[in-house]
Structure 1
Amino acid sequence: MTKVGHIYLIDDDESMRISLSRMLRELGYLVEDYASATLFLEKSVPVSPAVILLDMQMPDMTGLDLQERLLKFGRKTPIIFVSGQSHPHQIVQGLKKGAVDFLFKPFNLEELLKAVADAVDFDSRQLKRVSLDVEAKKDYESLTPREREVCGWLVKGLLNKDIAVKLGTTDATIKVHKARVMDKMHADSVQVLVKKYLESNLENHPLNN
C-alpha cells in the first residue's frame, strides 16, 4: 500500500539515515535525507503533507535550534524529534514549540510508523485548513462594504429587522443583502456562515480595519 507523505530525515548518523530511508521508501513514503540541519535549510523545499524526523543532538545545529529557525520562517511541517540522549528540558522545549512527538533511540519500529502516519495526517488536515481559510477570505473579499456589514451582524445573531434598524434601511433591503452574502460566502445556512467567519478569523480581516 502506497502512503501519501513526504519525510525529511535529518540525522548525522549515516547508517541510521540509510536504514531508515530504505525502510520508509519501501513503505511508500517519499524520503529526503540530510546529514545536517544546515544542509536541510539550504536544500529542502517545503511540500505537504510531510513530516520532519529530526535528530535532537547534531554537531552543527541542535534539533531545537532548527525548530526555532523553522518557526521564524513560518514553516509549519510537523516535527518528530528522535534522540538517544536528550535532557528532559529539551523534550519539554521541543513539545512546547509544537513538535508532535518524541522518540528515543533505539525506538520500536511500530512506534515510529504510527508517529509518522499521525504526523502526516496532522499535516494533511493543517493543509486543508489553510486552503479553506484562503477560500473563505477570497469569498469575503468579494462582498461589498454594505454586505460585509450585514455579514458581521448576521454572525452576531441579529435578525433581518434588527439589522435594518442598525443600518437605517428596510427589512426587504437587508433580505436582498443577506441573500447575496450567503451566496458569495457559499453558506447554505447562518450556522455555516458563522462557522466559516469564526474559523477563518474574518473579524480581523484587513478590510474591517
Structure 2
Amino acid sequence: MEITPVPVVYIIDDDEPVRDGLSRLLRSIGLHTEIFATPDEFLAFQRPNRPSCLVLDVRLPGKSGLVLQQEFAQLGLRMPIVFMTGYGNIEMSVKAMKAGATDFLAKPFHDQDMLDAVTAALARDSKRLAAEQSLAPLRDAYTRLSERERQVLGHILSGLLNKQIACKMNLSEVTIKIHRRKIMSKMGARSVAELVLMATSIGIGPIR
C-alpha cells in the first residue's frame, strides 16, 4: 500500500478545550489532526497509512494512558506516542518512555515543546513506514512459500543440515534439497547467509 505523504496527529483527551486548543496549535504549522474524546472513538476511526503520531492524555476516564499504550501495542498500533499529563511523575514518565513513548509533557506545557515533540514523533514514524515499505517485496516473497517450504526454512534458520531436516520432517534428503532450492529462488537469496538475513528482517525465526 502506498504511503500517503501528509502526516496526521491523533489527539485523545476527554477535555474538549484541551483537544480543540491542541488541534489549533498543530494545524497552525500545517499538520492534519483528528481529535477524540475516548480511546474507543480513536480505535473505531479508519486510519490511513501515513506518517502519524498519537498525543495521549495519561489520565482518561476508565483507563490510564499507560494501560492504553500497552493495549495499543498488543493491537499492532506502532505509531509514536507523546504523553501529556497534569499529574505526571518521574516514575510514570520513565515507564512510558521504556514502553516506547517519544515524549512526556507535563501540563501546562509550552507550545513549542509540544510542536517539537510532535515533529520528532512524526519524523520517527516516517522512518518506520519507509523501512516497512522497503521490506514489502520480501514479505510478499515469503507469502509465496508453501507451508512445507516455510517449515524447511524454519529448520534452516535453526542451523540444521539437509539430512537433519529430512530426519525431522520424515522426508528424503533429496526432497529437502529441492525445497531448499525453491526457497532460495522465491526469496531471491544467493546464499544461506543472505536467506537468514532476509528472514530475520521480516521477523521470521527458527522453529523452536
Same fold (TM over 0.5): yes
Q: Aligned residue for 1:101?
A: 103
Aligned to 1:124: 126
Aligned to 1:37: 38
| Cα distance in structure 1, aligned partners of 2:73 and 2:159 | 37
Matches of 2:87 and 2:165, distance apart in 1: 63
Paired residues in the alignment total 196
Give me the identity figure in percent. Answer: 30
Q: Does 1:90 pair with 2:92?
A: yes
Q: Which amino acid is 1:75 matched to?
A: L
Q: Following the alignment from structure 1 to structure 2, what is the Cα–Cα distance between the partners of residues 22 and 147?
A: 50
SS in 2 for 1:77: coil
Letter of the 1:37 counterpart: T
Partner residue, 2:152: 149
Deviation at 1:52, TM superposition (A): 0.7
Alignment of 1:73-84 (within 5 A): 73-84=75-86
Aligned-residue offset at 1:146: 6.1
Residue 203 (str. 1) matches residue 205 (str. 2)? yes
Q: Tell me the alpha carbon deviations over residues 130-183 of structure 1, each in whole angstroms, 9 at most, x when there is no partner.
A: 556665444234345469637854x5779xxx758976768xx95x76664333
How does 1:1-209 map onto structure 2 within 5 Å? 4-34=6-36, 36-38=37-39, 40-41=41-42, 43-48=44-49, 49-59=51-61, 61-130=63-132, 135-143=137-145, 145=148, 149=152, 152-153=155-156, 163=162, 174=177, 180-188=182-190, 190-204=192-206
SS of the equivalent of 2:56 reads strand
TM-score scaled by structure 2?
0.68
Classify 1:182/1:28 alpha carbon distance in 2 versus 1 (closer, same or farther; 3 Å).
farther
* SS at 1:51 equivalent: strand
Q: In structure 1, how many angstroms separate the alpha carbons of the residues matched to 2:77 and 2:185?
A: 34
Q: Is the 8 A contact 2:144 2:186 kept in 1?
A: yes
Larger helix percent: 1
8 A Cα contact 1:5 1:29, kept in partner: yes
* Distance in 2, Cα, partners of 1:55 & 1:86: 10
Give the TM-score, by structure 1 length: 0.68
Which deviates more, 119-128 or 94-103? 119-128
SS at match of 2:124: helix
Q: 1:146 to 1:88 in 2, by over 3 A?
A: closer
Report SS of the residue matched to 2:82.
strand
Give the counterpart letter for 2:38 in structure 1.
Answer: A
User: Separation in 2 of the partners of 1:184 and 1:127?
Assistant: 24
- Give 1:192 shift: 3.4
Which entry has the higher C-alpha Rg, 1 or 2?
1
Gaps of 5+ in 1: none
User: Judging changes above 3 Å, is the alpha-carbon distance between structure 1 residues 189 and 12 closer, same or farther for their aligned structure 2 residues?
Assistant: same
